[in-house]
A and B are shown apart, each in its own frame.
Chain A
Amino acid sequence: ETGVTQTPRHLVMGMTNKKSLKCEQHLGHNAMYWYKQSAKKPLELMFVYNFKEQTENNSVPSRFSPECPNSSHLFLHLHTLQPEDSALYLCASSPSRRPRYGYTFGSGTRLTVV
């Protein structure tokens, strides 16, 4: 285990469902991230939180709604998704927002939208 835990590992949801992805880290990191990994595409940064505040939203559709109640937890709320949203969603954390430290990734949630 890397220290970043994501649940659930797999999720199948219909286009009208509402579900949430959870990410938790107890590494003492202050920055947390959501990435989308689709087949044959580079990883896409979705959201960045630093000290619980959202600092980046990379033009993500509003059907994805992040929440960061504290520096240890990050959620991604999903509603009315499309089949093209099927992907591996990765959470990551870092000690600070400076990249020289590198990121610690979770194992991801494999999402399938039917």
Chain B
Amino acid sequence: AQSVTQLDSHVSVSEGTPVLLRCNYSSSYSPSLFWYVQHPNKGLQLLLKYTSAATLVKGINGFEAEFKKSETSFHLTKPSAHMSDAAEYFCVVSDPNTGNQFYFGTGTSLTVIP
């Protein structure tokens, strides 16, 4: 069975400081992993994805995530937060071998303080 846990429901950072959004997964197979961002009243936008290539994945808007199989983690980071980063972030896991559905985490709300 697959599941994904976002360890923080809410994260607050000051503008210009680093961002860390944590995600752990459980999967019986080598997973595909994704981070999506949702701004208010918008749909979900793909930030980045890991699909068994390089373990450090770079995404849009300066975000990146590192796949650590030994820790079953896929944490999202950004060196310097911008006000426009304030949004809801979703970690998603899927099993590419069976083509099954996505499993979404419950989301982390990021607040950026001026």
Partner of B101, one of A2, A41, A45, A105: A45
Task: Report the bound CA distance from A52 to B96 in whole Å.
Answer: 22
Q: Mark B96-114, 1 if CB is under 8 A from A, else 0.
A: 1001111111110000000
Q: Is the CB of B99 within 8 A of A102?
A: no
Q: Is the interface of B mostly helix, strand, loop or mixed?
A: loop
Q: Given A2-B43, A102-B49, A107-B41, A42 and B96 touching (CB < 8 A)? A: no
Query: Please, which residue of chain B has its CB at the minimum distance from the CB of A98?
Result: B99
- Interface contact A43-B41, CB-CB below 8 Å: no
Q: Kindly state whether residue A66 has any CB partner on chain B within 8 Å.
A: no
Q: How far is the CB of A15 from chain B (nearest CB, A)?
A: 25
Of chain A, the residue at the smallest CB distance from B93 is: A99
Within 8 Å by CB of A100, from B46, B51, B101, lies B51
Instruction: List A residues at the B interface (Cβ < 8 Å).
Output: 2, 4, 6, 40-43, 45, 48, 56, 90, 92, 97-100, 102-108, 110
